[in-house]
Structure 1
Amino acid sequence: MCYLIEFGDFLSTDLKNTDNKQTIKPWEQLLELYPGLNEPIRESWNDPLSIRKIYMITPTKTRAEQIADLTRLAQTLYLVPNLFWIIIEDEIKPTQRIHRLLQSFHLPFVHLNIATPDYLKPTQNQSTWRRPRGMFQKNIALQWIRSNTNRNDDALVYFADDDNTYHWKLFQEIRKVQSVGVWPVGLVGELLYERPICLNGKVHSWFHFIYRKRKFPTDMAGFAIHLNLIHKYSNYIFNVSATSIGQQESQILDTMTTQDQLECLANNASKIYVWHTKTQIMFITAAHKLQKAGLTYDLISEL
């Protein structure tokens, strides 16, 4: 009886509050209920640097987790003003399921595609680290940028995996880049993080563990490049041979800058705003059992 009385009191109070808020817009109600939402939106969209466009390059390939990863990433991008998303599928032609997903978010984007040749794909029992990943897709994105932007535009280029985790403040750091900026990346290289070690805003050395011979031992998520460098080095493409494993970052940075020229961002490379997370591969074993029983389904093309 006591619980029913309390529930009834809650309902009457809630209805009263609803009546009082009829003149308040739904978005204002949301900010009133969750005032923490206001900070990233206000800070991002009112930042004077937000006038600088970011071209974000994201290779993606068909897998069971793909739609979930892209959905999570797209919803983060709502907090980021003036960003243009370049999605490149590892497919012979663009798939409708990805195009429908991208259109549903109403974010500025272009949807491209190119298939990685079979001989460069990992075999069934081979780690994905043993083959170059996303390089053909990144090269197509660079080609698109050079054909569709002006070399004098004040804009930035950033490479973003579809399953990484991004703090909204990362994009504020990207907009500070004048030439090439660097910052830490979490959960990468068999460490909690890799990072440049900076003194007075310049890179002194690197904190890292694996692939010790890398000239620039950072993850692809750990730097951004000014658009004019992409145009200046217009012949640059990623080396797509299998011998380039672990060298994508060093290839492009060694072409376009030097360690002395790198700009340390994220509070002198002391803050982590991006994590090299990797979605756990789902073992869809029940599908095979359904097929053996004569039952089939194919939702991946519908989602």
Structure 2
Amino acid sequence: MGSLDRSKKKIQLWKKALLHFVLCFVTGFFTGFAPPSAVNLFSASAVERSPVVVVVPAASIKAAEHVVEPAGSTANRSLEGISRSVLVPTVNDVDPPPPHEGSNVGGAEEKSPHPRERLLILVTTVRRDDRFQGAFLRRLAHTLRLVPPPLLWIVVQAHEDAAATAAMLRTTGVMYRHLTFKENFTDPEAEADHQRNVALSHVEYHRLTGIVHFAGASNVYDLQFFEDIRDVEAFGTWPVAIVSSNRKRVAVDGPVCNSSKVQGWILKDLSYDNRLLITGTDMSPKPRKLNISGFAFNSSILWDPERWGRPTSLPDTSQDSIKFVHEVILEDETKLKGIPADCSRIMVWHLDTPSILSLPFHSKNQGRR
């Protein structure tokens, strides 16, 4: 009887072992069909990867952007850091934009972010048939990589020229949105204004709350500039040094300030005198021509003008946002804040380069032939 009981116990142990083996095999077999993303489901922390936005046609501005995360990216840019300011909808998201900042939700008013946490929205327009544009964009991208987040770079250009730029933007490590348009223009100024309107319409529709600056592709910046414009509450302005392509002419265009208050405007040629001596004849009450690279403004002026003392029933505001911004800037200098204090430092240089340069050596070589 003892030997019979022992044999029965051995058979039961083998059955249990076989059942355990079958269960483990079935579990492992079906686990192989699970998606790869499930591996990180229970991980303590996920690796941050830089989101890159594909080209968004400007004609369908209500269409949501598609966010792509390239594999292997090590940049520390993340949409999570500016989730309060930037809307990132899914492909099928057609809901209206979120309410503007300051709206009451549950009886509590949303507080404005700290100046150092404000989103910088830098808009760059790309001219057609400009052979230097690719080099300028890449140089500007290297500058923007050094700027602490949050920062969003909006690049606007014609649809047919967007492929090469899109490939370059994906390698910059800067969070960006690439907008395109299909309209044709013969006037470069009209095309530039249209590009700015495309960018401002995108900012307005998605309620991108931050400080907007039109960063020209050929501009050169002091990194401290990007920190200073985060302090802008409504509108900011600063002097810009304009350098010609032959390096024989330098002019300063911008405000004359007293304790960050604008006193007047100058456009002074410094080609033969590096001392900026300002007389009463140099100043004018209004700028001769508005240099858009010398201004920044709070984006909420586009959808909440009453917050900044503007009427809401303004004609053509949504159709021509850049014209609206021009009018606000020129209307009242008291709303402008000089950057830096006293506007005593040049932090933005604009390189004025023509789209077509003559090549003297080429004509000489042809003459020898």
Measured against the shorter chain, the TM-score band is 0.5 to 0.7
2:154 paired residue among 73, 86, 92: 86
Specify which of 53, 59, 74 is matched with residue 119 of structure 2. 53
Deviations 1:176-218 (A, max 9, x none): 10100111101269752112111232111111269x9994444
Taking a change above 3 Å as real, the CA distance of residues 231 and 266 of structure 1, as seen in their structure-2 partners, is same
In structure 2, what is the equivalent of residue 268 of structure 1?
A: 342
Matches within 5 A, 1:288-299: none
Partner of 1:142: 200
Alignment partners' CA distance in 2, 1:176 and 1:237:
26
Offset of residue 168 of structure 1: 0.8
CA RMSD of aligned residues (A): 3.2
- 1:229 is paired with a residue whose SS is helix
1:106 alignment partner in structure 2: 173
Partner residue, 2:304: 232
Deviation at 1:277, TM superposition (A): 0.8
**Structure 1: gaps of 5 or more residues:** 1-47, 122-130, 241-247, 286-303
Question: Structure 1 residue 252: deviation in Å?
Answer: 2.1
Which residue does the alignment assign to 2:267?
Answer: 208
- The worse-fitting range, judged by mean Cα deviation, of 92-101 and 162-171 is 92-101
How far apart in 1 are the matches of 2:171 and 2:159?
Answer: 23
More helix by share: 1
Map 1:8-27 to 2 at 5 A: none
1:181 aligns with 2:236: yes
Please list the CA deviations of residues 90-125 of structure 1 after superposition, one character each: whole Å capped at 9, or x if unmatched: x2446221001000012111111124533424xxxx
Report the Cα offset of residue 175 of structure 1: 0.5
Is it true that 1:198 corresponds to 2:272 in the alignment? no
* C-alpha distance 262-57 of structure 1, shift in aligned 2 (>3 A): same
Question: Partner residue of 1:70?
Answer: 137
Residues 86, 110 of structure 1: 8 Å contact kept: yes
**C-alpha distance after superposition, 1:60-84 (max 9, x if no partner):** 0242111101010000001112110
2:212 matched residue in structure 1: 157
Please give the alpha-carbon distance, in whole angstroms, between the structure 2 residues aligned to 1:83 and 1:72: 17
In 1, the alpha carbon distance for the partners of 2:340 and 2:176 equals: 27
**Aligned length in residues:** 217
Any unmatched runs of 5+ in structure 2?
A: 1-113, 270-282, 306-311, 360-369
CA contact (8 A) 2:118 2:230 kept: yes
Letter aligned with residue 230 of structure 1:
L
CA distance in 2 between counterparts of 1:56 and 1:92 reads 20
- Tell me if structure 1 keeps the 8 A contact 2:242–2:352: no
Does the 8 Å CA contact 1:185/1:221 hold for their aligned counterparts? yes
Measured at CA, do residues 253 and 216 of structure 1 come closer, stay the same or move farther in structure 2, by a change above 3 Å?
farther
Moved over 3 A (4+): 188-191, 212-218, 237-240, 279-285
TM-score of the pair, normalised by structure 2? 0.52
Q: Distance in 1 between matches of 2:116 and 2:142?
A: 18
Tell me the percent identity: 25
Compared CA separation, residues 262 and 284, structure 1 to 2 (3 A): closer
Give the secondary-structure state (helix, strand or coil) at the position aligned to 1:104: coil
Judge conservation of contact 1:116–1:136 (CA < 8 Å) in 2.
Answer: no
Paired amino acid for 1:80: V
Deviations 1:8-43 (CA, angstroms, capped at 9, x unpaired): xxxxxxxxxxxxxxxxxxxxxxxxxxxxxxxxxxxx
Q: In structure 1, what is the Cα distance between the partners aligned to 2:135 and 2:222?
A: 18
Q: Tell me the distance in 2 between the aligned counterparts of 1:278 and 1:115.
A: 27
**Which structure ranks higher in relative contact order (CA pairs < 8 Å, sequence separation ≥ 6)?**
1
Letter in 1 for 2:204: R
Residues 131-159 of structure 1 deviation map (CA, whole Å, 9 limit, x = unaligned): 44511100000110011125xx4x11111
Superposition TM-score, scaled by structure 1 size:
0.63
> CA contact under 8 A between 1:135 and 1:238: conserved in structure 2?
no
1:65/1:282 contact within 8 Å kept: no
- Partner residue of 1:277? 351
Q: Distance in 1 between matches of 2:268 and 2:191?
A: 21
Aligned partner letter, 1:140: V
Q: Is the 8 A contact 1:114 1:136 kept in 2?
A: no
Bigger radius of gyration among the two:
2
